[in-house]
């Protein structure tokens, strides 16, 4: 008796790439994924205050991020192509900048979710404008290992993030509020990488839409002088290697990076990996 074909497994990206203006586009750059990704965004009308020109407060971001995660449990499978099965047993939460802090908040339980996360990745996370002005909720305690996280964590920082981009605005990833503090408060297994020659916004597209997008991307932060593609490829490689090691027990690529950081597309400094003892 013939058996039916098993459902295919597919990598799925849930959150749309951040952009101040709504648009859809394809990419053929060298930093594109090796195979197509399925990208899903909520279409049910709701409150998106930032898209209407208003800032979204951190507690609201955490709450909405938790709701999107909960949507996966029932809303994802009906939208997938035939013979593609949603596998939520290895769910990763990640974010950049303030979104990096939001990812930490969700993983720490500030948003109650039905699903369990298997790993956390913070990409140049920022908790506030200075160590005296942390945004809510206040999750940084200044105590090593204080985060109650039962999952592997990777924190990727930018070397130029703590530097001012201009004389009128503070650093985009100031000391005391950046990746160093987040990593310090993580428990093993955890990893920290610093992309030395690039800044807080250098993982964005080469060109961002709109006047505001250009100002945020090119003027607000200290940027590196090299091609942004190198920054994107480096971050992408670090994330994939870390997750393959921690979730699939495929350590070859991650061990290679730890053994020789020069294989990365651009310079990595202060690499630290603390395994579970």
Please enumerate in sequence order all residues whose Cβ is within 8 A of that of 99, keeping only pairs 6 or more positions apart, or say none.
Answer: 18, 61
Domain membership flag for residue 6 = no
Most confident of 82-96, 173-187, 214-228: 173-187
Q: How far apart are alpha carbons 11 and 80 in whole angstroms?
A: 11
184-209 confidence digits (pLDDT tens): 999 999 999 999 999 999 988 887 77
The CATH number linked to 242 is 3.40.50.1820
What mean pLDDT comes out for the span 90-116? 94
Tens-digit pLDDT profile for residues 36-95: 556 555 555 444 444 444 455 677 889 989 998 998 888 888 888 888 888 899 999 999
- Whether residue 47 lies inside any domain: the answer is no
Q: Considering the domain boundaries, does residue 250 fall inside one?
A: yes
Per the domain annotation, does 38 fall within a domain?
Answer: no
CA separation for the pair 199, 236 (Å, rounded): 16
Structural domain of residue 206, as residue ranges?
89-274
Residue tagged active-site, from 124, 135, 179, 217: 124
Domain count, the chain: 1
Q: Is 75 inside any structural domain? A: no
Could you say which of 31, 94, 96, 97 is catalytic? 97
Tell me the C-alpha distance between 237 and 229, whole Å.
Answer: 12
Could you tell me if residue 109 is inside a domain?
yes
Q: Considering only residues 79 and 212, tell me which one the structure prediction assigns the higher pLDDT.
A: 79
Is 200 one of the catalytic residues?
A: yes
pLDDT score at 79 = 81
Query: What percentage of the chain carries pLDDT values higher than 70?
Result: 79
Q: Is 253 part of the annotated catalytic residue set?
A: no
Q: Looking at the domain assignment, is residue 200 inside a domain?
A: yes
Average pLDDT score, the chain: 84
Catalytic residue among 31, 96, 135, 200: 200
Any domain includes 220: yes
């Amino acid at each position: 008796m013939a058996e039916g074909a098993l459902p295919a497994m597919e990598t799925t990206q849930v959150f749309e790439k951040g952009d101040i203006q709504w648009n859809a586009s394809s990419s053929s750059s060298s930093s594109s994924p090796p195979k197509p990704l399925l990208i899903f965004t909520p279409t049910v009308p709701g409150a998106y205050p930032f898209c209407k020109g208003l800032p979204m407060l951190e507690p609201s971001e955490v709450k909405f991020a938790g709701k999107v995660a909960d949507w996966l449990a029932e809303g994802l499978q009906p939208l997938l192509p035939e013979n593609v099965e949603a596998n939520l047993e290895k769910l990763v939460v990640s974010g950049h900048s303030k979104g990096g802090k939001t990812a930490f908040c969700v993983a720490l339980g500030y948003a109650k979710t039905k699903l369990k996360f298997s790993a956390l990745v913070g990409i140049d996370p920022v908790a506030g404008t200075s160590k005296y002005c942390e945004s809510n909720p206040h999750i940084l305690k200044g105590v090593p290992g204080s985060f109650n996280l039962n999952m592997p964590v990777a924190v990727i920082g930018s070397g130029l993030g703590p530097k001012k981009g201009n004389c009128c605005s503070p650093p985009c990833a100031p000391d005391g509020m950046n990746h160093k503090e987040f990593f310090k408060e993580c428990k093993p297994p955890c990893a920290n990488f610093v992309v030395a020659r690039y800044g807080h916004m250098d993982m964005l597209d080469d060109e961002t839409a709109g006047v505001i997008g250009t100002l945020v991307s090119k003027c607000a932060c200290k940027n590196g002088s090299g091609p942004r593609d190198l920054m994107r490829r480096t971050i992408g490689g670090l994330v994939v290697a870390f997750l393959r090691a921690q979730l699939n027990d495929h350590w070859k690529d991650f061990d290679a990076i730890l053994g020789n950081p020069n294989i990365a597309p651009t310079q990595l400094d202060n690499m630290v990996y603390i395994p579970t003892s």
